[in-house]
């Protein structure tokens, strides 16, 4: 599940991000998205972020007043970094070292003047999208052609590919869709686990079923006992009837014999 931390209400453009201001982040170590737009940094450096933010995948520090990214911690899972509208003029080799898995980087509105400044980005082999809007480097002759030569891994520069075809989705939308897909996968896994639990016999149900089967067996045995008793009673009745019939016939024969003697 992804989390988003946005700048605290009331933190205006003149607010310093000193240690006391960043203490709120101590409970956000496991977040995947962190947005700190328009919060002024102290001395133009990144503060408060540590290696403990290892789950971070999206970081936005737009218009924070950064002049350097030297203090950026190692964020191996970071995919999208928003650094637009700051005063960064170099030192981008830190990004290749600290954020090796970046796929989207926005440096629009910074003080990047020549191609040598972005050359360290060659080490970001997974970098697909780079934005340099409103940077002086965009005024160079054959700017787009030279950037694509310098960074052959790029698919989109300022939102367009080599053939000047616009990217199908904005970087933000594409990244958000990726996070949504991760959440959908987690929900599907939860549903599968629920289905598997429903298919299994819950604890105690198996014992109840065995008890019910035993009760059914006892009822069948009782019915068999009753049927046997009824059959015995019926047989006893038949035997008594035969006995009475024999006695009657015997009396009749004795009476007939007495009559013959009198004659």
pLDDT of residue 40: 87
Nearest by Cα to 92 from 65, 112, 63: 112
Residue 85 half-sphere exposure toward CB, CA atoms < 13 A: 11
pLDDT of residue 160: 97
Tokens of 157: 């520069």
Cα distance between residue 24 and residue 241, in whole Å: 102
Q: Find out whether 65 and 38 touch, Cβ atoms under 8 Å.
A: no
Nearest by Cα to 63 from 120, 11, 103: 11
pLDDT of residue 134: 97
Cα distance between residue 46 and residue 24, in whole Å: 16
pLDDT of residue 47: 84
Cα distance between residue 225 and residue 115, in whole Å: 100
Q: Which helix (H) or strand (E) holds 256?
A: helix 205-262
**Maximum distance among all Cα pairs of the chain, rounded to whole angstroms:** 161
Q: Find out whether 111 and 136 touch, Cβ atoms under 8 Å.
A: yes
pLDDT of residue 252: 65
Look at the alpha carbons of 138, 139, 145, 146 in this order and tell me if their dihedral is positive or negative: negative
Cα distance between residue 72 and residue 82, in whole Å: 13
pLDDT, averaged across the chain: 77
Name the pTM for this structure. Answer: 0.59
Tokens of 49: 């972020």
pLDDT of residue 51: 87
pLDDT of residue 43: 87
Q: Each residue of 182-208: pLDDT tens digit?
A: 566 666 666 656 665 555 544 555 555
Beta bridge partners of 129: 104, 156
pLDDT under 70 in the chain at which residues? 1-29, 169-252, 254-263
pLDDT of residue 178: 54
Compute how many other C-beta atoms are within 10 angstroms of the C-beta atom of residue 46: 21
């Amino acid at each position: 599940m992804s989390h988003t931390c946005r700048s605290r209400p009331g933190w205006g453009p003149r607010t310093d991000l000193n240690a006391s201001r960043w203490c709120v982040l101590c409970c956000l170590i496991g977040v995947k998205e962190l947005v700190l737009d328009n919060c002024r940094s102290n001395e133009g450096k990144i503060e408060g972020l540590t290696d403990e933010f290892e789950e971070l995948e999206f970081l936005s520090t737009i218009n924070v007043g950064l002049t350097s990214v030297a203090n950026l911690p190692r964020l191996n899972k970071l995919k999208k970094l928003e650094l637009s509208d700051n005063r960064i003029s170099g030192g981008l080799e830190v990004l290749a070292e600290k954020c090796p898995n970046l796929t989207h980087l926005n440096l629009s509105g910074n003080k990047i003047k020549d191609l040598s400044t972005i050359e360290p980005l060659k080490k970001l082999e997974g970098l697909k999208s780079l934005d340099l809007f409103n940077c002086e480097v965009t005024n160079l002759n054959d700017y787009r052609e030279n950037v694509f030569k310098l960074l052959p891994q790029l698919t989109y520069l300022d939102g367009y590919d080599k053939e000047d075809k616009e990217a199908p989705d904005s970087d933000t939308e594409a990244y958000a869709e990726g996070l949504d897909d991760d959440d959908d996968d987690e929900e599907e896994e939860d549903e599968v686990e629920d289905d598997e639990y429903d298919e299994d016999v819950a604890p105690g149900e198996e014992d109840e079923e065995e008890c019910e089967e035993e009760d059914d067996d006892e009822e069948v045995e009782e019915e068999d006992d009753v049927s046997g008793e009824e059959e015995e009673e019926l047989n006893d009745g038949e035997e008594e009837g035969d006995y009475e019939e024999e006695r009657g016939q015997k009396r009749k024969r004795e009476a007939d014999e007495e009559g013959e003697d009198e004659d």
